[in-house]
Structure 1
Amino acid sequence: MKLFVQIPCLNEEGTLGLVLDTIPRQIEGVDEIEILVIDDGSKDRTVEVAREHGVKHFVRHARNMGLARSFRDGVDYALAHGADIVVNTDGDNQYKQEYIGDLVAPVVRGEADIAIADRQTAKIAHFSWFKKRMQHFGSQVVNYAAGTRLPDAASGFRAYSKNALLKLNVITQFSYCMETIIQAGNKRLRIASVPITTNPKTRESRLFNNIFQHMAKSGGAITRSYLMFKPHVVLGWLAAFFAIVGAIPFVRFFILWCMGTAGGHIQSLVFGTTMLVAALLCVALLVIADLQRTNRVLIEETLERVKNIEYGRVDDTQISGIRAALIPGLLPGGDDPNSQED
């Protein structure tokens, strides 16, 4: 079993050496441990420091692409080089790398597809009271969207099995943390939480300027991910709300009409009609969203099959069936003049 520890870095020459020195070289149940540094447009000696510590695997961006893109490119590289498990950690030495063995243990044992470190944020000294409350609230929101029970959904110290990575597709440009949990929860992947402690703070976050910006960006990522899987919940409640609000003026107008005092209340009918039209539009959007969700599921299944071929998860007997699904006109037992033998 091969483990890749990937470290996204942006100008981390001051702390990267500490991270690399503390990564364990032997873990029970793991045969090979490789370290991958993702240089996200660093302007300092990040890459040189990594080479001095014996790192041989690199993904380099000419300019800063963001954490989500760095994670995705790192995963592609690791899977292409035979990774069975990928651990994502940070280059700022926030996490204690000694916990990597504990983090991958549930994945190695086959008890979980993903393991997420619980930083126990309520005990972190440099977190303000407000930040601790927002971390807890944010985790609860993610748990609701994903159907999970994770105490620290924002933690970036994680272990992913190869099977999980083949099923997940990172779309957001901000951070993969919330999105992958919501996808994993809705795809019924098993997620474990592993309690850890963290190192003292070394620098301010480069993902956001303040906690309010972080809340806004995280909220947008959570909303988009939730709508991908459960658009019927949002649109269904909106349709019901507009229908009820629209029905009230009609009932009021009918009562006034029965009492002979309906004159002068035509505006109630106008308002009610507007609300009912809004409800009808929500229903129409719900139908469209449901069709799009069906298409997304089919596309994701196709992507998973393509990844299986690319990263060597299938045998030759399965490839012909996959080709038949992907190449138009290629039917089992039939001839395709455009097909080529490997």
Structure 2
Amino acid sequence: MKLIIQIPCFNEEKTLKNTLDDLPKNIAGIDEIEYLIINDGSSDKTTRVAKEWGVNYIVNFTQNKGLAKGFMAGIDVALENGADIIVNTDADNQYRGKDIATLVKPILDQNADIVIGERPILNISDFSPLKKKLQRLGSWAVRQASKTDIPDAPSGFRAFSREAALRLNVVNDYTYTLETIVQAGREKIPIISVPIETNPSVRPSRLAKTMFGYVRTSMLTILRAYLVYKPLKAFWFLSLFPIIPGLVIWIRFLSFFFVNGGAGHIQSLILACTLIIIGFVCIMIGILGDTIGANRKILQDIQYHSRKQYYDGVKIASPVEKKECRIYYR
């Protein structure tokens, strides 16, 4: 059983060594542990720190591409190098390395394919009261969209089985954390959370410049993911907003029409028809999206089998002996 721990990095030379030092060297049930760094266009000495420490793999981006693309690039390299379990953690040492054993245990026990570390949000002193409330609100929204019971959706501390990693698809450029939960819930991939502890924060989050920007982007990400996986239900709900007022106005027009013998109120009829037409357009968009969704499922299945065939072939053909640090340029 091989575990690869991946760490997305962007200008992390000051914190990376402490993070790497904290990672476990052995875990019960794991035969081999390797370490992977995704250098997301860093302009400092992040890559040098990783090489000097002795990581096994480095994925180098020539320019910053964002957390989502870095995450997926790391997943691809981990699969290519035979990972049976992949753990993602942060380079700022927010998450404790000793909790990785807790994170991978449900996968080793075959109780889940995705495990997410649940931070003690209410007890984190670095989070303001507003941020704590927004974190809980965002996680609630993800639970509604994904039909899961994950209490800490934004947590980047998570483990994936090889099977789950082969099925992952992230289409947004912002972050993988929310979309992968919605995908797992809607695709019936076994997903659970486990409680973890965190270290004190050493720097502000780089995911968003402002709290408002973070909330706005997160909500758009959740909405987009939900529209991808449940377009008919989403657009059917949206169609109610124009259809219900349209029907009310139309009934009002009919009452005036029969009471007053058809005189006047033609504007109400035009408005009612316009609103009802908009509503039916929303429904048609939902039906079209649902049809596209059926094709997406077929394409995802083809992608899964193609990736499985390719990466499993690479895994079998890979030499057994350990090599020096491999660098991948993307």
TM-score, structure 2 length as denominator?
0.93
1:114 maps to which residue?
114
Instruction: Determine helix, strand or coil for the equivalent of 2:155.
Output: coil
**Unpaired stretches in structure 1, ≥5 consecutive residues:** 315-342
1:263 maps to which residue?
263
Within the alignment, does 1:60 sit opposite 2:81 as a pair? no
Q: Using CA pairs below 8 Å that are at least 6 residues apart, which structure has the higher relative contact order?
A: 2
8 A Cα contact 2:231 2:287, kept in partner = no
2:130 maps to which residue?
130
Deviations 1:49-89 (A, max 9, x none): 11221112110011111110110000000000000000000
Q: Return the letter of the residue paired with 1:185.
A: G
- Provide the C-alpha distance between the structure 1 equivalents of 2:311 and 2:216, rounded to a whole number of angstroms: 36
- Give the alignment of 1:145-294 within 5 angstroms: 145-260=145-260, 262-294=262-294
Instruction: Determine helix, strand or coil for the equivalent of 2:107.
Output: helix
Q: Bigger CA drift: 108-117 or 304-313?
A: 304-313
- Provide the C-alpha distance between the structure 2 equivalents of 1:91 and 1:229, rounded to a whole number of angstroms: 31
2:100 maps to which residue?
100
1:7 maps to which residue?
7
Instruction: Determine helix, strand or coil for the equivalent of 2:257.
Output: helix
**For residues 226 and 313 of structure 1, do their structure 2 counterparts lie closer, same or farther at Cα, with a shift above 3 Å needed?**
farther
8 A Cα contact 2:16 2:46, kept in partner = yes
Q: Bigger CA drift: 231-240 or 301-310?
A: 231-240
- Provide the C-alpha distance between the structure 2 equivalents of 1:253 and 1:73, rounded to a whole number of angstroms: 59
Deviations 1:96-128 (A, max 9, x none): 111111111101111111110011111100111
CA displacement at 1:262 relative to structure 2 = 4.6
CA displacement at 1:31 relative to structure 2 = 0.5
- Provide the C-alpha distance between the structure 2 equivalents of 1:250 and 1:205, rounded to a whole number of angstroms: 52
- Provide the C-alpha distance between the structure 2 equivalents of 1:89 and 1:294, rounded to a whole number of angstroms: 34
Q: Return the letter of the residue paired with 1:12.
A: E
2:70 maps to which residue?
70
8 A Cα contact 1:253 1:262, kept in partner = no
Instruction: Determine helix, strand or coil for the equivalent of 1:92.
Output: coil
- Provide the C-alpha distance between the structure 2 equivalents of 1:296 and 1:277, rounded to a whole number of angstroms: 28
8 A Cα contact 2:232 2:283, kept in partner = no
Q: Return the letter of the residue paired with 2:149.
A: R
CA displacement at 1:165 relative to structure 2 = 0.9
CA displacement at 1:284 relative to structure 2 = 1.6
8 A Cα contact 2:231 2:290, kept in partner = yes
Instruction: Determine helix, strand or coil for the equivalent of 1:38.
Output: strand
CA displacement at 1:242 relative to structure 2 = 2.4
1:24 maps to which residue?
24
1:298 maps to which residue?
298
Q: Return the letter of the residue paired with 1:48.
A: R
1:88 maps to which residue?
88
- Provide the C-alpha distance between the structure 2 equivalents of 1:8 and 1:283, rounded to a whole number of angstroms: 41
Instruction: Determine helix, strand or coil for the equivalent of 2:243.
Output: helix
- Provide the C-alpha distance between the structure 1 equivalents of 2:174 and 2:280, rounded to a whole number of angstroms: 34
Q: Return the letter of the residue paired with 1:293.
A: G
Q: Return the letter of the residue paired with 1:268.
A: S
CA displacement at 1:293 relative to structure 2 = 0.5
Q: Return the letter of the residue paired with 1:105.
A: K
- Give the alignment of 1:35-46 within 5 angstroms: 35-46=35-46
1:320 maps to which residue?
none
TM-score, structure 1 length as denominator?
0.89
CA displacement at 1:283 relative to structure 2 = 2.1
Aligned structure 1 segments of 4 or more residues deviating by more than 4 angstroms: none
**Unpaired stretches in structure 2, ≥5 consecutive residues:** 315-330
8 A Cα contact 2:233 2:286, kept in partner = no
**For residues 162 and 313 of structure 1, do their structure 2 counterparts lie closer, same or farther at Cα, with a shift above 3 Å needed?**
farther
- Provide the C-alpha distance between the structure 2 equivalents of 1:313 and 1:75, rounded to a whole number of angstroms: 16
- Provide the C-alpha distance between the structure 2 equivalents of 1:181 and 1:204, rounded to a whole number of angstroms: 24
Give RMSD over aligned pairs: 1.5
- Provide the C-alpha distance between the structure 2 equivalents of 1:156 and 1:280, rounded to a whole number of angstroms: 40
CA displacement at 1:151 relative to structure 2 = 1.1
Q: Identity across aligned pairs (percent)?
A: 43
Q: Return the letter of the residue paired with 1:159.
A: A
CA displacement at 1:42 relative to structure 2 = 1.1
Deviations 1:251-283 (A, max 9, x none): 112212222265221111011110111122112
CA displacement at 1:189 relative to structure 2 = 1.0
- Give the alignment of 1:304-315 within 5 angstroms: 304-312=304-312
CA displacement at 1:241 relative to structure 2 = 3.2
Q: Return the letter of the residue paired with 1:216.
A: R
Q: Which has the larger radius of gyration?
A: 1
